[in-house]
Amino acid sequence: MTASASGSNHSLIRLTQVVKTYDSGEVPFTALRGVDLTVEPGEFVGLIGKSGSGKTTLINMITGIDRPTSGEVLISGTPVHALSENKLAVWRGRTIGVVFQFFQLLPTLTVVENVMLPMDFCSVHLPRERESFAMSLLEQVEMADQAHKLPAALSGGQQQRVAIARALANDPPILAADEPTGNLDSVTAEAVFVLFEKLVAAGKTIVMVTHDNDIASRVARALHVHDGEIVDDIRRP
């Protein structure tokens, strides 16, 4: 079953017949079985499904963290599947902000330094403007007062908010998050979700994996993944 293929040629995200087969195990395992998907700018997409259904594999195709065995991944017209590892890293740094389940802040850098790191890597913004831009991002996520602390001094929710600010550092059009609330209590998770809604309202496109049914029912578009296929594509008005 394929999801909506109605998008124009200029869709922000466009996956065509994406197949992913892992052959690291004893028998090759196909985790994605020919997925077609388009996402338009400004959409808030949730990937929903049971553990092992292929959600992480799918979002990794979009971020370029992993490559498809066959099929095409086009993001703003860029053939992600064809980029070299090195080009991919820099492209990703500028185009997609990645948020992890376990935050993954670098422990020896302070909060604001963590936010500035992607700017250094991708040479985005003038060097002297980087700190003020990072501070404004931290203000957006309400973490400006903790800017000079080390990550270890923060709670999980606070770390995830810093991680979101870091994902926004190079002002990418797309945010990709794999279970960003999976490691947070429900109150904190709610705060993160509200933050995402604000970012979508501000024009970002977000693709988020979640298994939290409550949150799943609130995204604008819910894609249900089962056994490596998108079985349902539900849009809320």
Partner 1 sequence: MVLPPRWRKVARDLVAHKLRTILVVLSIAVGIFAILVVMGGRGILIEAFETNFPKSNPSTAVLVTTGFDQMLVDRVARADGVADAEGRRTVSLRYRPGDVTGQVDPPVQVAVAQRQTSITLIAAKDWAASRIDVAAPQGSTPWPPARGEIVLETSDTQVSALRPGDFMTVETASGDKKLLRITGFVHDINSFPAMFVGQITGYVTLETMADLGVDAGMDQLLIKIEKPGLTRAEANRIVSRVRDDVIAPAGVRTLNTTVPEPGSHRLGDIFKAVSILLLVLGVMALALSGFLVVNTVSALLTQQMRQVGIMKAIGGKRVQIGALFLSLVAIYGLLAVLVGLPIGAWWASWFANFAGGLLDFGPAAATPPAYTVALAVAVGFLVPLIAALLPIRKGTRVSVVTALNATGMSGTHFGHGLIDRLLGRLRGLPRPVALSLRNTFLRKGRLAMTLMTLVLASAVVMSVGSVRASILTTVSDVSKWWNYDAEVNFARPVPAQLAERDALKVSDVKSSEGWLASPATLRRGDGTENTRLGMIALPPNTSFITPFLVGGRWLTDADTNGVVVNTDVVNAEHLAIGDAVSLKIRGKDYDFRVIGVVRGQMMGPVFFSNRAYTERLLGLQGSITRLLVRTGDHSIAAQDMTADRLDRTFTDAGLVVIDVLGQARMSESFANQLGILVTFLIIMAVILATVGVIGLSGTMIINVLESTREIGVMRAIGASHGSIYQVFVTEGVVIGVLSWAGGLILSWPMSLGLVWVLEGAIGIPLTYTFSWEAVAGWLVVVAAISAVASLIPAFNASQVSVRDAISYE
Ligand X SMILES: Nc1ncnc2c1ncn2[C@@H]1O[C@H](COP(=O)(O)OP(=O)(O)O)[C@@H](O)[C@H]1O
* C-beta atoms surrounding 94 within 10 Å: 16
Work out the burial of residue 186: count CB atoms within 10 Å of its CB; fewer than 13 is exposed, 13-18 middle, 19 or more buried: exposed
Q: 31 touches which of ligand X, partner 1, Mg ion, none (CB within 5 to 8 A by kind)?
A: ligand X
How big is the CA angle at 207 (ends 205 and 213), to the nearest 5 degrees? 130
Site mask for ligand X (CB under 6 A), range 4-23, x = bound: ------------------x-
80 binds partner 1 per the rule CB under 8 A: no
Beta carbons of 31 and 193 less than 8 angstroms apart: no
* 151 vs 106: CA distance, rounded Å: 8
CB of 211 to Mg ion, least distance (A): 8
56 binds ligand X per the rule CB under 6 A: yes
List the alpha helices (DSSP H) in 168-218.
Answer: 186-201, 213-216
DSSP assigned state of 204: -
Q: 89 touches which of ligand X, partner 1, Mg ion, none (CB within 5 to 8 A by kind)?
A: partner 1
CB of 32 to partner 1, least distance (A): 14
Q: 90 touches which of partner 1, Mg ion, ligand X, none (CB within 5 to 8 A by kind)?
A: partner 1
Which residue, 59 or 195, is less far from Mg ion as judged by CB?
Answer: 59
Beta carbons of 21 and 174 less than 8 angstroms apart: no
Which residue, 25 or 203, is less far from ligand X as judged by CB?
Answer: 25
Which residue, 13 or 119, is less far from ligand X as judged by CB?
Answer: 13
Three-state DSSP at 188 gives: helix
Applying CB under 6 A, among 5, 29, 142, 217 the residue interacting with ligand X is 29
Q: Would you tell me which residues interact with Mg ion (CB under 5 A)? A: 56
